[in-house]
Amino acid sequence: MNDIAIRAEGLSKRYRIGLKQEKYKTLRDTLSQTFTAPFRRLGSAFQHQNGHRNSSIWALKDLSFELNRGEVIGIIGRNGAGKSTLLKILSRITEPTEGYADVHGSVSSLLEVGIGFHNELTGRENIYLNGAILGMKRNDITRNFDEIVAFAEIEKFIDTPVKRYSSGMYLRLAFAVAAHLQSEILIVDEVLAVGDAQFQKKCLGKMDEVSKGGRTILFVSHNLVAVQSLCSRAIWVQDGRAIEDGQPGLVVANYLKTATTSIGERIWDNPTKAPGDDVVRLHSIRLIPQGTTVDLMNTRTPLVIEIQYWNFRQNTELNLSILVHNHEGICVFSSNSAGEETWHGKPLPIGLFRTQGHIPGNMLNGGVYRVSLLVIKDGSNLVHRETDALVFEILDDVKNGNGWYGKWQGVIRPKLHWSTERLETVSDTAMQI
Amino acid sequence: MEAKFAIKDQINFNSMRGADHIKVLRIEPSKGWVPLKVRELWEYRELVYFLIWRNVKVRYKQTALGASWAIIQPFMTMVVFSLFFGKLAKVPSDNVPYPIFSFAGLVPWTFFANSLDLASKSLIGSAQLITKVYFPRLVIPIATVLSGVVDFAVAFLVLLMMMLYYGTMDLSRMIWLPLFLLLELVTSLGVALWLSALSVEYHDVQYVTPFMVQFWLFATPIAYSSSMLSEPWRTLYGLNPMVGVVEGFRWALLNTHTGPGAVIIVSSLAALAILISGAFYFRRMERTFADVV
């Protein structure tokens, strides 16, 4: 009996029009194109139009791998590297353009928790509905019902419509159903990125338990800590190809090494095409180290993150948030502009604005950091999310090391104010006791 | 209680062990026309059931009128038809009181019209499901069409009550009704498959459908009787499968003389052709759903 769970050979997926998603057509367009096509062809014969419209991208190109039974494999890579496309193909949501994959045994995919949940239905009803969508048999759901409810910790609210649930309860219930899937191969996408820390811990624990049960798991995540602790193997995907395949610690380390091409500033010159929407668009984001250059920042260097943006609408309430992640993928801190001093979160008039955030020195530890920027308007509308807008490296400050040359422990490296006082003198008689 | 579960577990466990050969599934690009995979569809019958159950439950929970909505729609149309076609235009109604004549046609028609309308929106409305999890996509239009059966049953009860009221209750041909119900299901599902598959490719299909349904209503003998046509035109008329459905309903419930025969055969063949072609077209288009929807 062979031990292979999944064997992929030359998997490739092409998307047309250079878009990640193909744009849908309308009947109207198709009809009008059919009628105008002869004229356009005539026109293009004179104009020598090139075939820009037919451009395509390979989201996945010639990816091959073998996955053994019981292996827990982590797929890492940047956004748009092809990870999600790979999962979608293996989950049979979309077909490959070329190549094939042989899947041995039953597969469940968990690309999102709570698929098909309906707000009007009760917790109990949603468990059955969601279970059926994930491919569970009704008997299986009934058999696991109490366990699912217990895992989600919603016993009291099981017959309440989920629209009255808190977001935490909702997530717990959604994950609980998925956690009780009985298939031999489990395909999991970034589901752990949601929920609070306690919930994440619970999910990771469950994943660990599942993998120890001998089932095969394919796991995509940006959480490199989770990949290293859960997986027995990691594949690093970039531009639709597998760059490296091996022991997770090594693959993650190599991934981080090349991923650290510093980005100290980004500028978008065109106010009609810059990231954003009709209300607000980004002009630039820049890292300004105080008193040194970008190459020589160390743990003592105070940093300024400067964001320039156009506001095109009178009285826009804007909130800029930054999330700073370290090389392990841990969010070191997040901060937003709500406490900013000049405008106090008041609506902005039309114009080009500059907002600066000051990161004090003696706070970040040495290492590589990625800054993501979120632009939020009107309190809760996400206008734009620029993931990894800035990437920079902070060098260890050797001077402060005090003879210690290893890496300083800890996520942050604050310079604490230490003090020592002599409280009282100790007499000779006391010392003799 | 607990012991019972334990035994059940054991059996499942054994049967899992017993099946030592592991199913191998090959994922590869498909080309052209693909098989329908009816057996796989059958394996997903529980999902169809749960989706129907959700559709019905949510609709009845969310609308203030609930079940009465199923009655109001055909009933009001019947009142309007009775006034304009029955009273003013004096359209002949095969010797049956006009209100019940038109209502007997409107009950199956409403099911058909709602099926098409909901089916044309069903795949786009299920984008979250389609892009996140695998199941035979045929499940969605099938569940959408079958969800309408509950509304149909409610409206049908009203029809029976009207038959009592008008004193035309005659159950001698009732046993044939299931056949016409089946014809109605085949027709509705067939057109629903075409529309739902087209709606993913062309998003404006969902806006065109209501117009199409409107035209189809007048191309079907609901406000009038197909007996107004002479042969062979009447038989040819059966190419619209809803002609067979409506005339079949009237024949089975109201004892009209526009009985089964050539029309029903033509309608049945047309309905089957639509269903089979629709299913294959749907399967052919299915592979791009997740990328386009």
ipTM for this prediction: 0.82
Residue B49 pLDDT > 90: yes
Q: What is the pLDDT of residue A193?
A: 53
- Are B290 and A88 a contacting pair at CB < 8 A? yes
Residue B1 pLDDT > 50: no
Helix (H) or strand (E) holding A245: strand A241-246
Distance to chain B for A214, nearest Cα, Å: 15
Q: What is the pLDDT of residue A108?
A: 86
CA gap A60, A73 in Å, rounded: 18
- Enumerate residues 6+ apart whose C-beta is below 8 A from A402: none
Residue A134 touches partner B, C-beta closer than 8 Å: yes
Q: What is the pLDDT of residue A34?
A: 67
Interface test with B, best of A93, A122, A128 (most B CBs within 10 A): A93
Residue B98 pLDDT > 60: yes
- Are A103 and B24 a contacting pair at CB < 8 A? yes
- Are B30 and A95 a contacting pair at CB < 8 A? yes
Q: What is the pLDDT of residue A402?
A: 44
Q: What is the pLDDT of residue A250?
A: 86
For A129, which of B22, B54, B290 is closest by C-beta distance?
A: B54
**DSSP secondary structure string for all residues of A311-356:** E-STTB-EEEEEEEEETTS-EEEEEEGGG-TTTTTPPB-SEEEEEE
- Are A103 and B201 a contacting pair at CB < 8 A? no
Interface test with A, best of B56, B132, B286 (most A CBs within 10 A): B132
Q: Which residues in chain B are closer than 8 Å to A25, comparing Cβ atoms? A: 201-203
Contact status, residue A310 vs residue A280, Cβ threshold 8 Å: yes
CA gap A369, A326 in Å, rounded: 5
Q: B52: which DSSP letter?
A: H
- Are B135 and A135 a contacting pair at CB < 8 A? yes
- Enumerate residues 6+ apart whose C-beta is below 8 A from A204: A192, A226, A229, A230
Q: Which of A143, A138, A120 is nearest to A128 (CA)?
A: A138
Distance to chain B for A12, nearest Cα, Å: 10
Q: Does residue B25 belong to any structural domain of this protein?
A: no
Domain at A58-259: CATH code? 3.40.50.300
178-217 in A: which are within 8 Å (CB) of B? Answer: 184
Q: How confident is the model at residue A169 (pLDDT cuts 50, 70, 90)?
A: confident
Domain residue spans in chain A? 58-259, 265-401
Q: How confident is the model at residue B209 (pLDDT cuts 50, 70, 90)?
A: very high
For A89, which of B8, B27, B130 is closest by C-beta distance?
A: B27
Q: Which of A116, A87, A174 is nearest to B130 (CA)?
A: A116
Residue A22 touches partner B, C-beta closer than 8 Å: yes
Q: Does residue B275 belong to any structural domain of this protein?
A: yes
Residue A91 touches partner B, C-beta closer than 8 Å: yes
Distance to chain A for B25, nearest Cα, Å: 5
Q: How confident is the model at residue A357 (pLDDT cuts 50, 70, 90)?
A: very high
- Are A134 and B133 a contacting pair at CB < 8 A? yes
Q: What is the pLDDT of residue A196?
A: 61
For residues B105, B111, B117, B118, the Cα torsion angle rounded to the nearest 10 degrees is 180
Q: What is the pLDDT of residue B158?
A: 92
- Are B25 and A107 a contacting pair at CB < 8 A? yes
**DSSP secondary structure string for all residues of A118-183:** -TTSBHHHHHHHHHHHTT--HHHHHHHHHHHHHHHT-GGGTTSBGGGS-HHHHHHHHHHHHHT---
**pLDDT digit string (tens) for B213-255?**
999 999 999 988 887 887 788 888 889 999 999 999 999 988 8
Residue A53 pLDDT > 60: no
**pLDDT digit string (tens) for A93-109?**
999 999 999 999 888 88
- Enumerate residues 6+ apart whose C-beta is below 8 A from A157: A123, A164, A165, A169
C-alpha radius of gyration, chain A, whole number: 27
Q: Does residue B16 belong to any structural domain of this protein?
A: no
Interior/surface letters A285-300, b for 16+ CB within 10 angstroms, e for the rest: bbbebeeeebeebbbb
Least confident range of A81-85, A222-226, B120-124, B277-281: A222-226
Number of domains present in the structure of chain B: 1
What residue has token string 């609210």?
Answer: A157
CA gap A286, A304 in Å, rounded: 8
CA gap A47, A41 in Å, rounded: 10
Residue A399 pLDDT > 60: no
**pLDDT digit string (tens) for B100-133?**
999 999 999 999 999 999 999 999 999 889 988 9
Residue B134 pLDDT > 70: yes
In which domain, by residue range, is B148 found?
34-292
- Are A25 and B8 a contacting pair at CB < 8 A? no
Interface test with A, best of B7, B22, B121, B286 (most A CBs within 10 A): B22
**pLDDT digit string (tens) for A382-392?**
889 888 889 88
Interior/surface letters B139-149, b for 16+ CB within 10 angstroms, e for the rest: bbbbbbbbbbb
CATH class, domain A265-401, is: mainly beta
- Are A128 and B50 a contacting pair at CB < 8 A? yes
Measure the N-to-C terminal CA separation of chain A; round to a whole number of Å: 77
Q: How confident is the model at residue B35 (pLDDT cuts 50, 70, 90)?
A: confident
- Are B291 and A105 a contacting pair at CB < 8 A? no
pTM above 0.90, yes or no: no
Q: Does residue B79 belong to any structural domain of this protein?
A: yes
